[in-house]
Amino acid sequence: MATPRRRSRGPSGAVRAFDVQTGKLVWRFDTVPKPGEVGHNTWEKDGWKDRSGTNAWGPISVDVNHGMVFLPLGSPSYDFYGADRKGEDLFANSVLALKTETGKLVWYYQIIHHDLWDYDLPAQPVLMTVHRANREIPAVAEVTKTGFVFVFDRLNGVPLFPIEERPVPQSQVPGEATWPTQPFPLKPPPLARTSVARADITNVTPESRKYCLQTFGSILPARIFDPWSLTLKLEMPGTLGGANWSGASFDPFSGYLFVNTSDLGVVGEMKRQPAGSPEAYLWGSKWGTFARFWDSQHYPCQQPPWGTLNAVNLNTGEIAWKVPLGVVDALKAKGIPKTGIYNLGGSIVTAGGLVFIGATADHRFRAFDAQTGKELWVTKLEFNGHATPMTYLGKRTNRQFVVIAVGAGGNIGDDASGPTALAAYALFPKGQSSPAQARLQAELAKIPSGTGSEPPEIKPPLLAPTQPIPFSHRGHVAAGMSCDNCHQLSSDGKQMQIPSVTGCMACHQSVMEARPAIQKMTQLEKEGQQISWVRVYQLPEFVFFSHQKHIDAKLACEVCHGMVRNQDVLRQEKEISMVACINCHKLRKVSTSCGLCHNIGY
C-alpha cells in the first residue's frame, strides 16, 4: 500500500488471504471496523471512513497447529494528530488473532489507545510455549516501541501477566482528545527508558553535555505518553523504539525471549497549518521531522546505555540479564566502552545457546551466551548489519553457518551509503566443541546407568487444558472405538493427527446430535472451520520423532501417553523428556545415538 505521507484518508489497511494455488481471494478482514462490526463504536462520528493506516505493520505469524494467524497492526493516519479520529480507534495498534481458514476474529488486544506517537506494532508476534504452575501454555509475545513486552495466551488472548490501565497526560492541542489511559504491563519490566530528567543528561563528553542542556534542557523532564503540544516536546522512547521491526527471538530450552532495544528519543511540536490544508496540524521541528534527542555527534542526550540486548524469562516475567549492545568507537578510544548504541535488526538464538545479532550502528556482528549475556565473539563488518541473521547447515560440510546482510539502510546513524554484502561465518572449527555439546552432556549426565525403564508418570499430574469441545476418551473407548478411529497417521508418518470436524461429524451427524457440543461442531462444519483443539503432548521443534516407527516397533500408545482410555478430560500423564526417551530405548535395546532424534550438526 502506498499513500502520501501525512494524509489520514486513503486506501484501507484491510488484511486479505489468497489461495496460493489459484490466487483467489479467500477472505478479507477490515482492520477499521464498519458499522455493526466489533469495535466500530470506538471511532467517533465518521472517523472510520476511508481511514488510512491501521494495517499489518509487522510480519504476520501463523500457528499451524491451532489454525490461527496473529497480526501486529499499525497506527491510524495521521500518526501525530487525531482530531478527525477521536476514540480508541480499534483495531489500530492491536494484536489480532484470526482464524486461518476464514479470517474470523478470535480475540484482540489494543496496546496503544488513540495513538499520537507513531507507536505502531512493528514486530512479528513471537509464538512459544510458556511453563506456568505445572502447565504448558501456548503463548504469543509482542515487543513494542514503548519497550513494553505483552504476553498472552494465544488461544484466548488472556494476558499471562497483569496489565494496568493507567491515567496519562492529556493534550492541549486544539481539537485533539487524548485517550485518558494507556496499558502498562506489570511484568516484564520495561526494556527501554520511559522517562528523562535533567539529572539523566549525558556526561560522556563535556561538549555533549553542554549541547544537550542548551538545546533540550528546557523541555525536561519528559515521560512516556506525554502528548505533543504547540511547543517543543520530547518523546521517550522515540519513534524507533524501544524495540522495532527486528522483533525478538526465543529459546525453548531456557524460556528466554531475546529483545534488542534502543534508547533514543525524538523531539517535535505541532504546527498549525493554513486553512484548507489536508491536516489542521502537522508535527515537526526546526531540525525537520523525526529529529532525534542527540547531540551534534549523534550521541544520545541521556546517559548510556543507548542500546541494550535483553533476555526475558517468559516463565516468570523477570529480566534474566541485560547488557549494553554496541559501541561508539570514538568514545571507546577515550575509555568509555560500554555505551551501547541505537540499533535496527534482529537476533537469532541457536540450539547451542548462542545469540547472534548485528543491528548496531557500529559495523559489528556479535555472539552472546544465551544463559548469561556474556559477549563471546565479535567481528567487524564492511558496513552495518541492519538485518536479522539466518543460520543453516552446509550440505557438504555438515557445519553450521550464520549469515547476515550488510549495507546502509535502516534510517538510522550517519551512514547514508556504503557497500552491500552477505557476510557468512562457520561455527566451531574441526576439533572445537560447541555449546550445544556442553548442553547435551549436561542432559546426558542426568540419565542413570542400567538397563533402562518405562517413561515415568508425572506426579502430581499436570492440569488438563480447557478444550473447545468437551471430549471423553473413556466414553469413546466404551463405545468400542480405538485410537486410530480418531487419530489418523500423517502422510509423513511423524504425527498422529488430531480429529477434524469432518471426521467427528461423520459419526455425530446421527449420534447424540442434539447435544450442545455436537451442535457447536455442526455449526463449525457449516462455516468451514476446524476445531481449535489444544495439544496436550508437544515435542520441541529440534526433536525428530516418528509415530510410524514406534507403531512398526509394536509400541503401545499407553507407553508414552498413559491410560488415556480412562480419561474423561485429557491430561499429560507420562513424562516426555530426553531422559525418559533414552531410558525407554535402553529398556528395549534400541539405539540411543544422538543423531537418531537430533541433527548433531549444531
Catalogue the active-site residues.
118
Task: State the number of CA atoms in the 13 A half-sphere of 428 facing the CB.
Answer: 19
Give the number of other CB atoms < 10 A from CB of residue 493.
Answer: 14
Helix (H) or strand (E) holding 558: helix 557-561
Q: How far apart are CA 364 and CA 263, in angstroms?
A: 19
Strands (E), 52-93: 61-63, 68-72
Q: Do the Cβ atoms of 146 and 224 come closer than 8 Å?
A: yes
567's CB contacts (< 8 A; 6+ apart) are 472, 473, 474
Q: How far apart are CA 331 and CA 204, in angstroms?
A: 8
Q: What SS3 class is residue 477?
A: helix
What residue type is 252 in one-letter code?
Answer: P
Q: Which three cell numbers stand for residue 352?
A: 547451542
Helix (H) or strand (E) holding 284: strand 281-284
The dihedral built from the CA positions of residue 280, 283, 289 and 290, taken in this order, carries a sign that is negative
Which residues are paired to 229 by β-bridges? none
Which residues are paired to 250 by β-bridges? 257
Per DSSP, the residues of 570-581 read: ----B--SHHHH
Which residue, among 45, 32, 38, has the nearest Cα to 93 in the 3D structure?
Answer: 32
Q: How far apart are CA 253 and CA 247, in angstroms?
A: 19
209's CB contacts (< 8 A; 6+ apart) are 201, 202, 203
Q: Do the Cβ atoms of 58 and 122 come closer than 8 Å?
A: yes
- What does the H/E/C string look like for 215-272? HHHHHCCEECCCCCCCCCEEECCECCECCCCCCEEEECCCCEEEEEEECCCEEEEEEE
Which residues are paired to 182 by β-bridges? 166
Report in angstroms the alpha-carbon separations of 561 from 103, 555, 558, 576.
34, 11, 5, 9
199's CB contacts (< 8 A; 6+ apart) are none
Which residue, among 221, 227, 89, 73, has the nearest Cα to 144 in the 3D structure?
Answer: 73
Report in angstroms the alpha-carbon separations of 409 from 106, 124, 188, 384.
37, 20, 31, 8
Helices 501-508 and 516-526: angle between axes, nearest 10 degrees: 130
Whole-angstrom distance between the N-terminal and C-terminal Cα of the chain?
Answer: 40
Q: Do the Cβ atoms of 71 and 120 come closer than 8 Å?
A: no
Q: Do the Cβ atoms of 31 and 73 come closer than 8 Å?
A: yes
